[in-house]
Structure 1
Amino acid sequence: MHIMYKIFKSLIFFTLIYMQKCTAEFSTEDCASLGFIKANLLCSSCDQLKDFSLDQLVDHCKECCHNDDSAPKEKKYARAILEVCTCKFPAYPQIQAFVKSDRPTKFPNLQIKYVRGLDPIIKLLDKDGIVKDTVAIEKWNTDSVEEFLNTHLEKEEEDDRSYLKTNQI
């Protein structure tokens, strides 16, 4: 009985995929069941699957992707707060490595806040200091955190009046 249920479920799934293929692109749920995040998937990424001998995934990937030229611009935020608990560092060694490295100093608008018992997250704030988005980062490595911050944080403008910082009275 259990095996029949699995076969039936698989048959329904493949029928759904076939119907989607005939009518339109996959829905967000269809893409998620295939392992793709439709909202973030650019078609140029699908082309890279061939480099890893994953040719069989390209067709499904193309049904879930956005054209790079029509992809929405990445939203930029004025500030970010990386919240983490030091007691959980052993569970998240990559986050610990990021926090303890010199990488956070590259982002003057990043604050690291230690919150007891919290899994690592990044809060993204607008120019008024209002939290606009929160991202869970527990599965990220140090490079992913840095790339995310480079992509989503506004760059600090180099002000021509930097001499004022050194000549303050």
Structure 2
Amino acid sequence: MAYIKIPPLLIISTLFLVQNCLSEFTTEDCASLGFTKANLLCSSCDQLKDFNLDQLVEHCKQCCHNDDSAPKEKKYARAILEVCTCKFPAYPQIQAFVKSDRPAKFPNLQIKYLRGLDPIIKLLDKDGIIRETVAIEKWNTDSIEEFLKTHLIKEEDDDRGFLKTNLI
């Protein structure tokens, strides 16, 4: 029986590659550990220590994405919050948001009252084309406001840019 002599460096590098490939968990592995791999940033894993959850850091690191490679949040020119007033009793947090002064903070937010509709937010690009629709029936007022802050372009930024180009 003949043996092939394999260089030790090749064996070590192969083992290293196999170990690295196996060290990252799959989406299902991460989900079973309570992590959402698609949205988990590695900076979040570092914060686990602040809550005495050191034992989770290693698994968290195997499910996370580097913050710099994380997808940036898309910004939209406008949003439409569609809701039915007859369903306000079923969605008191949505009612509280709509009836508060919070919508006024978003000049590019329109509220439409459509009969029988569960609450949704439609995100539109600068051409008025709907790019995303998000169901918000389980959201509270703070979640809605934070979502709009994250996903809507601030109109005053656009106005300032316009003013800068027209300076004398």
Do both share a fold (TM > 0.5)?
yes
Give identity over the alignment, percent: 85
TM-score (normalizing by structure 2): 0.71
Q: 2:61 is matched by which residue type in structure 1?
A: K
1:53/1:71 Cα in 2 relative to 1: closer, same or farther (>3 Å)? same
Task: Specify the alignment match of 1:89 in structure 2.
Answer: 88
Task: Specify the alignment match of 1:68 in structure 2.
Answer: 67
Q: 1:100-158 deviations in whole A, cap 9, x for unaligned? A: 11111111111111222222211111111111111121222211111111111111123
Rounded Cα–Cα distance in structure 1 between residues aligned with 2:108 and 2:61: 37
Count of aligned pairs: 142
1:94/1:72 Cα in 2 relative to 1: closer, same or farther (>3 Å)? same
RMSD: 2.5
Rounded Cα–Cα distance in structure 2 between residues aligned with 1:55 and 1:139: 31
Task: Specify the alignment match of 2:37 in structure 1.
Answer: 38
**112-121 or 145-154, which deviates more:** 112-121
Q: 1:50-87 deviations in whole A, cap 9, x for unaligned? A: 43444444333323222112212211111111111222
Task: Specify the alignment match of 2:107 in structure 1.
Answer: 108
Q: Note if 1:160 corresponds to 2:159.
A: no
Greater Rg by CA: 2
Q: 2:152 is matched by which residue type in structure 1?
A: L
**149-158 or 34-43, which deviates more:** 34-43
Rounded Cα–Cα distance in structure 1 between residues aligned with 2:133 and 2:59: 29
**105-114 or 52-61, which deviates more:** 52-61
Rounded Cα–Cα distance in structure 1 between residues aligned with 2:120 and 2:32: 25
1:52/1:88 Cα in 2 relative to 1: closer, same or farther (>3 Å)? farther
Task: Specify the alignment match of 1:143 in structure 2.
Answer: 142
Rounded Cα–Cα distance in structure 1 between residues aligned with 2:117 and 2:33: 30
Rounded Cα–Cα distance in structure 1 between residues aligned with 2:137 and 2:150: 18
Rounded Cα–Cα distance in structure 1 between residues aligned with 2:50 and 2:89: 34
TM-score (normalizing by structure 1): 0.71
Rounded Cα–Cα distance in structure 2 between residues aligned with 1:109 and 1:154: 8
Structure 1 residue 33: Cα displacement: 4.0
1:89/1:25 Cα in 2 relative to 1: closer, same or farther (>3 Å)? farther
Structure 1 residue 22: Cα displacement: 7.2
Q: 1:36 is matched by which residue type in structure 2?
A: F
